[in-house]
Amino acid sequence: MDFGSEIELARRSSSGGLRSILKMSPAKRREARWGLFFISPWLIGFLLFYLAPMVVSLIFSTYNFTLSAPDDAQFIGLSNWQRMLFDDPKTWESLFVTLKFALISLPISMITAFMLAVLLNSKHLLGRNLFRTLFYAPTMVPLIAAILIWSAVLNPQTGWLNRVIEFFGIPAVGMNGLRWMDDPNLIYIAYTFIGLYGIGNAILINLASLQNVPTELYEAAEIDGAGWVRRLWTITIPMVTPVIFYNLVLSIVGLLQFFIVPWVLNRGNGYPEGTTNYYMVYFYKQAFTFQNMGYGAALAWLMFIVALIITMFLFSTGRYWVYYSGKQRS
């Protein structure tokens, strides 16, 4: 199964859906009923907790709606959309910033998470349980402590990071040293580094999927004399592509919504040189700080559309590289 054809199917079935239901054989109808039974919890939850709020927020985007004065909201048609798409340069600037950061950060964090999972799955690693727990630990650091830790560690003058680098003989400490949060050339590296503190879940998913690779495949390959790299490349990675795919989609979605780190580290002021003006930071500033919820809703919907396009694109490429060993019953 792949998503390219799923989208195609979705298109077709939504046009002729009812007719095809009527034409169903009894067996198919039974299966459909069971399928709907299984997905019913989500379906009910979606209708209750998602659909209505989504529609309402779409309506917001056509209003001049100040958060603190909801009664004074005025219908202004597509003005918010026009401002966002054509008059407000910050929309595209912040989208560009977000995409640029995603391109830098995504491969680093995905590869790190996967390689760490491989390491933590290695039967040669002594004390695996402890290692796994410790590598997961940073994910559990509460937000408030994380702010304190990162602003202290990255401080150019007193932070540990620069002092460690200096220890290896590279001048880093001081006003003319490595200023992680002030230098537009370093800021994305610093943020990526901070982001690595949130990859615990990705490691965990990778790890769970590595456990699922049948061991006899490795044994067979070993007999064939395949080296570690070749085994990784020809067995492990293909077997876990569904989970890599999952991580990829979630990482991209997560990066498009990148918000918490810049928000807590510099209150979303874009410093230095606007490099931290991420899209969601801009959205949050408009919607909550400046209380322009109407405009904020339009911005959020644009992000939704962009993310949807990227995700659909990813799904359509899935057929070429994602391997599912189980098949759908049909």
Partner 1 sequence: MTATTLRSLSPYQIAKRRRNLLLSMGVTLAALILLMIYLMPLGYGVISSLKTKSQVDDPQGPLLPSETVKYEYEGQQYDVYYMPTETGIQEWALVRRGRSNSDFVDINNPEVGLIYWEGNWRQLDPVHELSFQWNNYPEAWDTIEFPQLLANTLVYAFVTMIGTLVASALVAYGFARFEFPFKNLLFIILISTIILPPAVTLVPTYAFFIHVLNWGGTWLPLIVPQMFGNAYNVFLLRQYFLTIPTEMEEAARIDGAGPFRTFISVILPQAVPALTAVALFHFFFAWNDFFGPLIYLAGNRKGNPITVGLTEFNGLYSSETQLILAAAIISMILPLTIFFLAQRVFIQGIVITGVDK
Partner 2 sequence: MNRFKAFSMLAVSVLFLLVSVGTLSAQDRIQIRWYVGLGGGTDAPLIEREEQVAADFNASQDEIELTIEVVDVDQAYDVLSTQLAAGNGPDVVGPMGIRGRASYPGAWLDLTSLIESTNYDLSDFDPALVDFYHVEGDGQLGIPFAVYPSFMMYNRALFDEAGVPYPPTAYGEPYVDWDGNEREWNMDTLRELAMILTVDANGNDATMDEFDPESIVQFGYGTQFTDLRGRDTLFGAANFVDDAGNAIIPDNWRAAEHWYHDAMWKDFFYPNGVYGNSELLGGQGGNWFGTGNIAMVTIHSWFIGWGTADLEAEWDFAPVPSYEGVATAKLHADTFGIMKTTANPEAAFTVLTYLLGERADDLTTLYGAMPARLSLQDGFFGRYTESLGETYPNVDWPSLNWDVVVAGLAHPDNPNHEEGMPAFLETSARYGEYITLVDNNADEDVDAALDTLQSDMQAIFDAAAQ
The residues binding partner 2 (CB under 8 A) are 33-34, 36-37, 40-41, 44, 48, 65, 67-70, 72, 147-148, 151-152, 155-159, 173-175, 179, 182, 266-267, 269-272, 285, 288-291, 293
Q: Are 319 and 2 in contact (CB under 8 A)?
A: yes
Q: Could you say which residues in the range 102-121 bind partner 1, by CB under 8 A?
A: 116, 119-120
Closest CB 233 distance from partner 1, rounded Å: 19
Chain centre distance of CA 64: 31
| Burial category of 126 from C-beta neighbours within 10 Å (exposed 0-12, middle 13-18, buried 19 and up) | exposed
Element (H, E) at 152: helix 143-153
Does the footprint of partner 1 cover residue 4 (CB under 8 A)? Answer: no
Does the footprint of partner 1 cover residue 189 (CB under 8 A)? Answer: no
Which residues are within 8 A (CB) of 201 and not within 5 positions of it... i.e. 6 or more apart?
A: 139
> Between 273 and 308, whose beta carbon lies closer to partner 1?
308
> Between 7 and 164, whose beta carbon lies closer to partner 2?
164
Tell me the C-alpha distance between 114 and 278, whole Å.
26
Closest CB 273 distance from partner 1, rounded Å: 25
> Between 152 and 305, whose beta carbon lies closer to partner 2?
152
Length, in residues, of the chain: 330
| Burial category of 251 from C-beta neighbours within 10 Å (exposed 0-12, middle 13-18, buried 19 and up) | buried
Does the footprint of partner 1 cover residue 296 (CB under 8 A)? Answer: yes
The only residue of 138, 177, 238, 272 in contact with partner 1, by rule CB under 8 A: 138
> Between 91 and 209, whose beta carbon lies closer to partner 2?
91
Stretch that binds partner 1, among 26-34, 87-95, 180-188, 265-273 (CB under 8 A): 26-34
> Between 111 and 273, whose beta carbon lies closer to partner 1?
111
Closest CB 162 distance from partner 2, rounded Å: 11
For 119, 153, 199, 248, 251, the CA distances from 242, given in Å and listed in that order, are 20, 36, 18, 10, 14
In the list partner 1, partner 2, none, the entry touching 272 (Cβ below 5 to 8 angstroms by class) is partner 2
For 16, 229, 288, the CA distances from 217, given in Å and listed in that order, are 44, 15, 54
* Closest CA relative to residue 58, chosen from 38, 81, 27, 31: 81
Closest CB 13 distance from partner 2, rounded Å: 21
Does the footprint of partner 1 cover residue 179 (CB under 8 A)? Answer: no
Tell me the C-alpha distance between 108 and 117, whole Å.
14
In the list partner 1, partner 2, none, the entry touching 294 (Cβ below 5 to 8 angstroms by class) is none
Does the footprint of partner 1 cover residue 287 (CB under 8 A)? Answer: yes
